[in-house]
Structures are given as structure tokens and as C-alpha cells.
Amino acid sequence: MNKTLRVFLLIIVDIILVNIALYGALLIRFDGDIPVQSIPSFYNLSPIFTLILILCFYFFGLYKRLWQYASIGELLSVVGAVTVGTAVNVSLTYFIIEGGSLPLPRSVFLLSWLLCIFLIGGSRLTWRLIRDYGLKFQNGDEKGKTVLIVGAGDTGVLVAKELRRHYGNGIKIVGFVDDDPDKQKLKVLNLPVLGNRDNLPKLINKFSVEEVIIAIPSLDGSEIREIVSLCHETEAKVKILPGMYDILEEKVTVNHIREVQVEDLLGREPVKVDLEGISGYLKNKVVLVTGAGGSIGSELCRQILKFLPAKLLLLDNCENNVYDIEMELRNTDPEVELIPLVKDIKDKKAIEDIFCHYKPCVVYHAAAHKHVPLMEANPEEAIKNNVMGTYNVAQASDKYGAQKFVLISTDKAVNPTSIMGASKRLAEIIIQYLDKTSKTNFVAVRFGNVLASRGSVVPLFKKQIAEGGPVTVTHPEMVRYFMTIPEAVELVIQAGVLAKGGEIFVLDMGEPVKILDLAKNLIKLSGFKPGKDIEIVFTGIRPGEKLYEELLTAEEGTTATTHKRIFVAKPNGLDSALIEELIQNINSHKFPTNMQETEELIRKFIPQFRASDKENISKEEHLELKYNQQRKK
């Protein structure tokens, strides 16, 4: 309906109701027999009463509201408008029109006030009642999709209302499930609370539920996993609402309801960052991101753009990656100057030219070789890219006066068993060494596996599931720490705020997750049953892999930062002579050329690197033994 026409009709209805209220007050006051002398007073006062009340309704915004969503707030507006209008009418009548005497009994004004609130408020609630409760009777249509809502709290109620509004008789809500014993066998919106989460399989089968919606934003990952597991014993699909911080009260819509994702199963709340502090050190600054086209680098660029840097330098050795992220960002915020740079961090002169020309203030170093098995096959390339490349960028940051340098590191750098992990540990050692003499604040950030990043297990599992299986898992006991790409990036950016120089920042990532459990959950979330629809095959630990990962060495320990979820490792003692020798070799391009030379270089800095290979047990047995010992501790 046209807005002007809607307002016009509302005013007409209000004029009629205001007069009905005044006349009804006279009838009630005189028990249905209105005295003849009161009739002229009614006709004389009715126009002015109506005009004043309509004006009050307008100024109280009663004609600017969508009354199909009326609630307590709208009713209070009606009460306020009627009260003010009635008070003005009584004042005009008593002090101006009649010269100090009321033409009608005082009780008539009080009664008309009550009737007006009832009639005006009732008219406004009519659409709400029709929408909420009129559709409720249609909801009994057996042809509608059957839905069960987990959570009978405020969010669950909002979800039920929104489903009724949006789908009408296309949805049949059978009821709620809630663990609160005080809610059992009660009704919410005339829908029963049917039991607790343990009853889910039985209720789904009993009512032929097609879809279960999890509507408890405060649930942690382990509880979500439990509910998902119970539902996947049946044929019902599972959907979920976002977390508490993503939902504004009274703003839940059907668009918020989505499929359960693997990120929901992490078992902890996402990390939140200090946006105000971040804005201070990025706004109007020249920022360089190496590896800008990768999973972490590209998300870094997206997040950095929000803080309006003066220039954002996008450096990557793959031209397609640079092109893709540049085009995406130009469509996001064309005001920020974007500089695409197709360069290799191993090219020292190219890196120095960039720093000399643009003089970046903040550097995020995300460029690296990260695939463990590939680096086992190409060990010298891991040293060149991850060690020499890091030194080139770090040395240029020092030479040209960058304020902050943040290295993206990995939990695989802790007690490394792989060439990739060891190369990242050497990169950490180099920046900690440079920090001792540089005005630049050099820091590193360690985190675990990043969900949905290129080469991670989640995209691989999804691809295998889409192909019908099997899903390949290396070892039934393998565990990893996981975080989302946005979490990883927010940690990196926050580290720049906290950086004083030389630190290694670590995220509290909760409990590690079994890769096998992750595979099973992904299969379930895809609508299949593990071992029945999609097989899981164990392929054995690959070269360089651990059964478990660590975030800190025993010597590093941790200290808290001002961010409750981020910790800082204590710097270890650095062997300056060894590091200077390594830097000299980098500058003279003396690098290992095979696995033996690579391992010899690494053992100079990490003496225990692959010491287990000298024993008469296999690497897999050694790792499994170490993992079991760790679990006992």
C-alpha cells in the first residue's frame, strides 16, 4: 500500500475511534441514558478534541511506525499521545472555552482517556495479532515443512515468529527443545517445549521433523557438535543462527539462519580485536603485505582496507593472485590507493627498490612456502624462500625505517620435525636478532591450521566428499589447533598494536581438534553418514608431519598481554655468531643444495631437529610415542 494512502486511512480510522471513545465515555457515565443537556456539549467539543488528539498522534510518531511489528514500545507511544492529548483538551475546555467550568462530568474525560487508549492501541495491534496468530492456525497445515527449534529462550521465540511471518503455512513448527527444566511441558507462542537435547532423535522421528534450527547463540562448539551429532542420527537437516555478537535484539530474520559450518564446531568464541587501537597505527599509513594474494595475505588486505591506510602495497610473486585481490579491493574501497607489485621476496634488489620508493610504515610478511610434504621434497627452496626471503624484507624494513614488521609464523616452528617448520623457526630467530639493534619493532605471530585456507584439510575434505569419497586422514590420533581465516588475520593485526619488539605472539585456540573428528563432522554436515555413505581411509603420516602440534617450547613459556586471548612467548637466548654467519651466507647466496645440507644447517640452530631418526624406531612410532606421553601429562 502507498505510504500516503496508508497514513490517510490511519487518520480516518483514528478520527472515528476518538469520537467513539468520547461518546462511549458518555454512555458509560450515564448508564446508557445521556442527559439532553450533555448532547450539545458533545457536539461542540468533539471537533476540537479530535483535532488535538490527531495532532498529538502525529507528533508522537504514530503515523511513522510499521504497526505489523507493534510491541510494548509502540503501545507506550499510544498511551503517551492519548494522555498528552487528553490533558490539552481538558485544559482548553476548562480554562478557555467554558471559562472555568467543565461542560461534562470529569469522569467522562477519564473514561474517554481509557477508551481511547484501548481503541487506538487495539487498532494498532490488530495487524500484529493477525500476522502472529492468524498464521498460527494456518501453521497446522500438514503440507508445511516440519521444523523443530533448539532453544526456547528469546532468540528461539524470535526465530519462531520470523518463520511464521516469512513462510506462513509453508512451515509447521512442531515445538521447542530446551535443557532448562523449568521450561519443560510449558508452551511458548502456543508451541510446546517437548524435551531436552537428549530427546532430539526421538522427537525428530516422532514428528517427522525435516529441519532442526539451533537458536542458542551462547552455545560453544562442543555443545553444537553434540547437537549436530544427535541430529545426524536421523534424516533431519541442521541449521544454526550466528553467534550472540552477530544478532541485534528483535533483528533476527530468516536470512540469519544458515547451515552449520565447521567454524561453528571449534569449541570457543571467536577472537575480538581492539578496533580503536588498530585504527591508530594503520590510518593514513603506507602498509605493505607480502604474499598478498594468498589465503592469509588477501584477508589481511581486506581487513587493513577498513582502517583507511594512505597506500596499500599488494606484493606477491603470482600475477594472477595480485590481479584478483587488486580487482576485489578496488570494488570495495576505491579511495585507498592500491599498488600491485608482482615481485619475489627472494629478489633482494626488487625488495629494496620497493622500500626505497614507497617507504612502508607497517609490514605484514605473509609470503612463505607452507606445504609440509612439498618442502620435504624441496628443502633448499624452503630455506631460500622462508629464511632468505624473510631476511630480505626484514632487512629492508630496518634500512628504510618501517615502524612495525609482523612475521606470519606457525605452530610447526615449535620443536619442528619438518623442513617447513624449521625454516619458519629460523625466520623467527632472524627477526628477533634484527630487533635487538633496529628501531623497527619486529614481531612474529604463531597460529595453528587455518580453516579453509589453500592447502588445508577442510577444502580437501570437501572436494573428496563432493566426489563421493573416500575422505583421506593420515592417522586416527592426529590432532591440530584450528582457527578461522578472519581470526588469524585479526590476531596478526592486533599483534601490531601490542608489539614492542622481539615478541612471538600466540593465540589461545582452545583445545586441539582430532582430524578424524573434523572429517566425520564435515561428512555429517554435508548430509552423509561417515563409514556408510562416505568412507574414511587412513593413509599414514606424511614426511615431516607430527601427530600433534605445539604453540610454545618449554623454554619460552608465556606471559599475558592486554588482550585476554593473546599471549607472548619469552624470547630465547640467541646465538649471535651463528645468526651473523647465516646472514653472511644469505648475502653471498650460499645455500644448502640437498636434504643433508639443509638438515645440517637447521641443526646448528635446532640441535634436536630429527634426532629421532638416529634411533631404531620409525618416525611414525616416535611421534605417536611422544604424543601419547604428552597426553598423559
- The model's pLDDT over 378-402, given as tens digits with 9 standing for 90+, comes to 999 999 999 999 999 999 999 999 9
Cell triple for residue 550?
605445539
- Strands (E) in 510-573, as ranges, are 513-514, 536-538, 558-560, 566-569
- What gap in Å lies between CA 450 and CA 456, rounded to an integer? 7
Closest by CA to 140, choosing from 172, 187, 185, 175, is 172
Q: Which is more confident, 589 or 361?
A: 361
> Which amino acid does the sequence have at 310?
A
pLDDT band at 268 (very low <50, low <70, confident <90, very high): low
For 597-626, b/e burial (b = at least 16 CB within 10 A) is ebbebbeebbeebbebeeeeeebeebbbeb
| Angle at the Cα of 93 from the Cα atoms of 92 and 95, rounded to 5 degrees | 65
Is 156:212 a contact under the CB 8 Å cutoff? Answer: no
Is 594:379 a contact under the CB 8 Å cutoff? Answer: yes
Task: Put residue 597 in one of left, alpha, beta given phi > 0 → left and psi -120 to 50 → alpha.
Answer: alpha
- What gap in Å lies between CA 11 and CA 33, rounded to an integer? 30
> What is the residue whose three cell numbers read 606424511?
542
Among the listed ranges 108-112, 183-187, 561-565, which one has the minimum average pLDDT value?
Answer: 561-565
**pLDDT score recorded for residue 263:** 58
Residue 58 has pLDDT above 90, yes or no: no
- What gap in Å lies between CA 517 and CA 506, rounded to an integer? 24
Helical segments of 378-479, H only: 379-382, 389-399, 419-435, 457-466
Tell me: cis bond preceding 470? Omega within 30 of 0 counts: yes
- What gap in Å lies between CA 195 and CA 189, rounded to an integer? 16
- Give 217's DSSP letter: T
Closest by CA to 292, choosing from 342, 334, 332, is 342
Is 176:155 a contact under the CB 8 Å cutoff? Answer: no
Q: Name the strand (E) or helix (H) holding 505.
A: strand 504-507
Is 367:288 a contact under the CB 8 Å cutoff? Answer: no
Annotated active-site residue in 412, 424, 520, 546 = 412
Residue 93 has pLDDT above 80, yes or no: no
The model's pTM? 0.60
Average of per-residue pLDDT values in the chain: 79
- What gap in Å lies between CA 168 and CA 189, rounded to an integer? 15
* Percent of the residues in the chain that have a pLDDT greater than 70, as a whole number: 77
| 433-490 confidence digits (pLDDT tens) | 999 999 999 999 887 766 655 656 777 888 888 888 888 988 888 877 777 777 778 7
- What gap in Å lies between CA 132 and CA 339, rounded to an integer? 54
Instruction: Specify the 3-state DSSP secondary structure of 404.
Output: strand
Is 193:174 a contact under the CB 8 Å cutoff? Answer: no
Return the number of other C-beta atoms located less than 10 Å from residue 552's C-beta.
17
- What gap in Å lies between CA 562 and CA 526, rounded to an integer? 40
- Strands (E) in 263-422, as ranges, are 286-290, 311-316, 337-342, 362-365, 404-408
The mean pLDDT value for 185-204 works out to 87
* 614 annotated active-site: no
| 279-309 confidence digits (pLDDT tens) | 678 889 999 999 999 888 998 899 899 888 9
